[in-house]
Chains A and B, each alone.
Chain A
Amino acid sequence: MNILVCVKQVPDTTQVKIDPVTNTLIREGVPAIVNTYDAFALEAAARLKDKDPDTKIVVMSMGPANAVNALKDCLAIAADRAYLISGREFGGSDTLATSYILSNAVKKIEETEGKFDAIFCGKQAIDGDTAQVGPELAEHLGLPQVTCALEITEADDAHLEVLKEGTDANMLISIGLPCLLTFTKPSFEPRFPSLKRKMMAMRAQIPTIAFSDLPGIDAGKIGLNGSPTRVKRSFVPERKKNGMIISGGTAAENAAKLSELLSDAKVI
């Protein structure tokens, strides 16, 4: 099976702080990581490869030059090939423009890597949280899609059986190939790479796909000008400060009171 995994390099949001004056994210000095949900997508692909070693995994990422580090992390885990999509023309793209660029890149990469049987994305990026790029990419490419996949339970030459997370109930869905899946957090943790793959990945040369490599692309649909949506302002919502301190009683009494309040509020 020929699988493409789309990944984004994001700041490790567990380590991001907000500038209290400008109300924007302080990205400086924050380590960049592979978007958590994309790592789940890659792990799903890696598990297919564990079962069938003939599986080929290609990763692509759109981003600045240093996004090769995210791609190298993916090579270390399981990917066979990696492509960076990078160029000034792509800057400022919203989700629609981004997915449009990605769809063009997919076609370009398929010239070298062959038709993809499946495209895996993370459900959403932890720095933007839109959950739009995966589904939009499926639409651009005319592919059937399943969102919020937890894991692939079975695979053959023509189908994938996917366990999908639902609000009230999970679903087992059979989807024909080619298709696009977006992944959410499974019950298992993504693997650590082997030292050998890590060394190989660190030495890898990763090709870049630039604007000029995508002759069919419509320049009017990309970048800031090609984006129908704009972020007008980003700010931290006012934190509610009406917390309550329970004191006065013994520790046991205070704890009982707290548990009563939480249970009344249906928190526990």
Chain B
Amino acid sequence: MPVPYYDFDFMLTDEQKGLRDLVKDFAQSKVYPRCRECEKDAIIPEDLVKEAMDMGLNLVTLPEEYGGLGLDNFTCAVIREQLAKGDAGFASRIFGFGFTPVKLAGTDWQKQIVADSFLNGGIMAFALTESCAGSNAVAMATTAKRDGDDYIINGSKNFITNGDSADFYTVFAVTDKEMGHKGITAFIVPKDTPGFSVGKHEDKMGIRCVHTNSLFFDEMRLSAKYRLGDEGNGFKLAMAILNDSRPATGSSAIGIAQQALDLAIEYSKERVVADKPICRNQAIAFMLADMEIQVQAARQMVWGVCKSADAGIVNRKLVAAAKCFAGDTAMKVTTDAVQIFGGNGYTRDYPVEKLMRDAKIYQIFEGTNQIQRVTVSGMLLK
């Protein structure tokens, strides 16, 4: 029996509860068992992806006027937690980076072509990081040179989620080296653009049901109509996109943590050591209590920044805090879940070591948790 944990149900409308329960049902009955198998060989379960796309899960951020669901950040977070609870890598495969990049800066034509691909089950990837530009993205070396009505793009990107699954990529490149972060420009790149290629996917520790690849741009010619926003506005746009995606990322981390907690509670009641279930030791019971407290707190933080964004207020400090706390919580709670499972927890026959491996990335990508702390402290001390 799953543990009822929807203690803040009153915050949800009936419609939000309906969507949550639908995604929960899909995630637990199909995604969870299947992805546990698939992740061993880093296989993306394509038939399940198709089912999720048929359900329109990739359309949550697409505005209604483009045929999407146009759900607000809060509802998206509620849904995403459930899908990630089934499998966080799979959730990344389905949601990609959402529609946000074109929503924030796209022309009508750009919105239309990306929307059309979404309606056919497509997603968009976000390509900022390079091998020498991770935490310090400004150091990027990929260049875009104007050539008449086109740009010629050269360089490469590293660690791009959905590198071999996306239909469109938001790519950041330097158009004016002298201008520093004000010399960076964003583009949307269709996957079949000549001169563009995708490297083989990384053999990762976790979130193995989504692929992470390098991207290569070799004299890639792109019409200027694919430029996203003005020249020099790319870095600002990247930060705005990340401010929008970090709460979503946090909700995935919470999904992982909640799954680990649910499994740990169940196991602690069943596992008998010295004639009593291990949960009857206060040391274990209090661990469970601490896990619950952290998950609840993380969820409230993420929901808080989502509601804030829905009200039109983006508080960078709180967004960074929520992403950081959700990631740290996922890591802590999954580690404790492995502890509660004992030796079994350390084996692949039991589900919690996988959750621990999945959790780790939430302290690394979309700005490491050190960088989130740089943001939080920077804003405190400004």
Q: List residues of A whose CB falls within 8 A of some B CB.
A: 76, 191-196, 198-199, 202-203
B69 touches which one: A192, A193, A199 (CB < 8 A)? Answer: A199
Residues of B within 8 Å of A203, CB to CB, are 15
Interface string of B20-36 (1 = CB under 8 A from A): 00110110000000000
- For residue A192, give the distance in angstroms from its CB to the closest CB of chain B: 5
Asked whether any CB of chain A lies closer than 8 Å to the CB of B51, the reply is: yes
Within 8 A of A (CB), among B103-157: none
Contact A202 B55 (CB under 8 A): no
Residues of B within 8 Å of A194, CB to CB, are 54-56
Given contacts A195-B22, A195-B56, A196-B69, 7 further A-B contacts (CB under 8 A): A191-B51, A192-B22, A192-B26, A194-B56, A195-B23, A195-B57, A202-B15
Within 8 A of A (CB), among B17-75: 18-19, 22-23, 25-26, 51, 54-57, 59-60, 69
Residues of A within 8 Å of B23, CB to CB, are 195
Contact B55 A199 (CB under 8 A): no
- For residue B28, give the distance in angstroms from its CB to the closest CB of chain A: 12
Residues of A within 8 Å of B178, CB to CB, are none
Q: Total A-B pairs in contact (CB under 8 Å)?
A: 37
Contact B56 A196 (CB under 8 A): yes
- For residue B72, give the distance in angstroms from its CB to the closest CB of chain A: 13
Contact A192 B25 (CB under 8 A): yes
- For residue A198, give the distance in angstroms from its CB to the closest CB of chain B: 5
Q: List residues of B whose CB falls within 8 A of some A CB.
A: 14-15, 18-19, 22-23, 25-26, 51, 54-57, 59-60, 69, 79
Between A and B, 10 residue pairs with Cβ closer than 8 Å are A191-B51, A191-B54, A192-B22, A192-B25, A193-B22, A193-B55, A195-B22, A195-B59, A196-B69, A199-B69
Residues of A within 8 Å of B55, CB to CB, are 192-195
Task: Take A191-B54, A192-B55, A193-B55 as given contacts and tell me if A198 and B26 are in contact as well, using a CB distance cutoff of 8 Å.
Answer: no
Q: What's the Cα separation between A199 and B60 when bound, in Å?
A: 12
What is the predominant secondary structure among interface residues of chain B facing chain A? helix
What is the predominant secondary structure among interface residues of chain A facing chain B? helix
Residues of A within 8 Å of B56, CB to CB, are 194-196
- For residue A99, give the distance in angstroms from its CB to the closest CB of chain B: 32
Contact B18 A198 (CB under 8 A): yes
Contact A195 B15 (CB under 8 A): no
Residues of B within 8 Å of A76, CB to CB, are 22
Residues of B within 8 Å of A198, CB to CB, are 18-19, 22
- For residue A32, give the distance in angstroms from its CB to the closest CB of chain B: 13
Q: What's the Cα separation between A76 and B51 when bound, in Å?
A: 15
- For residue B178, give the distance in angstroms from its CB to the closest CB of chain A: 47
Nearest B residue to A195 via CB reads: B56
Nearest A residue to B30 via CB reads: A192
- For residue A50, give the distance in angstroms from its CB to the closest CB of chain B: 10
Nearest B residue to A69 via CB reads: B18
Residues of A within 8 Å of B26, CB to CB, are 192
- For residue A201, give the distance in angstroms from its CB to the closest CB of chain B: 8
Residues of A within 8 Å of B22, CB to CB, are 76, 192-193, 195, 198
- For residue B78, give the distance in angstroms from its CB to the closest CB of chain A: 12
